[in-house]
Structure 1
Amino acid sequence: MSEGGRIQKDDLKSVLLLVIMFISVIGGREIGNFYSSFRDISNLKVFFEVQEEELSRYLRNTVDGIETDLKIGYSVASLRVDTSEDLVTTTPDYIKRWIIGVTVSPITVNQPEASNVELEMLVEDQLVDQDTYEYPKEKISYIGLRDKSIQIEIDDTELLRQLVSEAAETYAGEVKVEFRGRVHVHLLFLDTWLPFQVSRHTLVSIPRLQYIDSEWQSMSGENIETIEAGSSGYIGLDVSNPTRIHSLQEEMVCEFFKDGSDEPVTSVIKEVNMPPLNTGQYVFQFSFTEPGVYRYRIQSGGRTIVEASDSRTIVVD
């Protein structure tokens, strides 16, 4: 073989060696990136979202015997994500790795996919449904929710009706519902199950402050049955907010009546605000100039809390 032929053969070997080295480096980097991404994904959680309004609609329809779907959404997210806003502002580590890799040099971005969902539904800490919902694999975004409608099969609707009814009566229309389970997540040929757990305190009826008691009281805070004309006092109204997470606000009107008249002598409007799981007293001040027997009526939002005929009386001398 001539010297020129040997040179060409050596050059070809060098080129092939460079190609093999290049492929090995790129392939190794891709494989390393792939397994690193899968490790990152395995340490994440599923952000599971169900709107309170949607859950309220579902519970009311189900209790009424109407078959209905429940709309949910979920995504693979960082452990720090607790709200839909966090989903946008908190970037998972595997996404940061992709961004850095794409910026430095081109790499293949493998987007995770999700399929089946294992779901448990608890109402007031009692299990009412447990099932696996099968879905085909579908790519899942880290900044958006994968929307699904699921038909939850409640075997014991009477138990559900009882739980919802008792909770609504105890907590002013508020019902605690918890969802927990796992989502099957895939990254090419690897897969894992990521957990989720979320609680909602949804309202199945309009929440109202609960009436406790009311009294005629002097300005020093003592309960009274008589008062001198021209002196000031107030109605002390005790109410509670039995809900567990909802603050309540109501506009209350206290009307004062003199026996023998259907028209109020005067009225006082009070804006009542109360945090959850709390009780408080609100006052409606009065001062009567004419002697006689007086009563009061308290109303809020179209409902009568204390009727005048049922209220305590005070004698003005």
Structure 2
Amino acid sequence: MQTTDAVTAQSTATFTTLNLNGNTNFTLATGSIVTVNGILKSGNVAGGATISGGTGIQAASGAELVIRADQAGDSLAITTNILANGASSLTKSGLGTVAITGANTYTGATTVNAGVLRATTNATALGAGALALAGGELQLANNTALNFGRNTTVTGDARLTSDRLALGAGVTHTLGTLSIGGQRLVIAGGANVNSGTAGITFGAVTFTDAPTFHVVNPTAGGTTLLTLGAVTNAGFSATITGNGNVAQSAVMDGAGGLILGVAGGATYSGTTTLNRANTYTGETVVNSGTLEISTSGGTSASAGSSP
């Protein structure tokens, strides 16, 4: 189905794809459910389209709902709920921006391949399944902290942003566990943060290769803080670059190490704080930036070996 004009009271229906061309809003009638496996926002014009109302939208049972905002100027807000239908999943593609704000119940994975997926308002905006960052940017945005709780796997270079809905002091948004290999994950403060700390917090972390965390402060003011839970580095060393800060909430373990800045390459000007009795045995290398060793709960903090 392709729309060029607003739809104001869509009844329950099933479409293979829904193409919103230009800034056309699509509103469901009260109690209606639209089943669709692909949504395309096209037109590449300023403004945006909205899908709202009704009970919600869903993929076919167990299917993947692919939402594509085609070009950088394409923007789509989905304020209706994205419903569970079997183990249905959601994939964001295209260069544009898709915002999801509902109390979403789908249980399959959420995958970001390209462009921007902006999850706001509800801690369940990302559904109840796992999260995969294969590219593009995931923005977590709310004026108060949200615990999304999604276990996250990074499979491609990606960006993860802590933002607000309105201009103000940063807040900390929380995901679940993190599995990352040799990718570069940018952790950033969002455009609506102008003071305070824009935080991203993970639970337990597993390295499957040597990752780079590029932590960058908000452009309008404030700082960005990446907090990692218990790290199992599996013999791989993590590199920290950028100008933001990094902290830990549990022990780092394994034969890998920690590198701040790249000698002759990307620099680091933030502060990384180690405040646990760490058991990792790899080298701790400070090429740039600040490494702060502090204590937590009366336990002496420690770093790995020095080069």
Give the TM-score normalised by structure 2: 0.19
Query: Which protein has greater RCO, CA pairs closer than 8 Å, 6+ apart?
Result: 1
Which has the larger strand fraction? 2
- Pair member with larger Rg: 1
Give the TM-score normalised by structure 1: 0.19
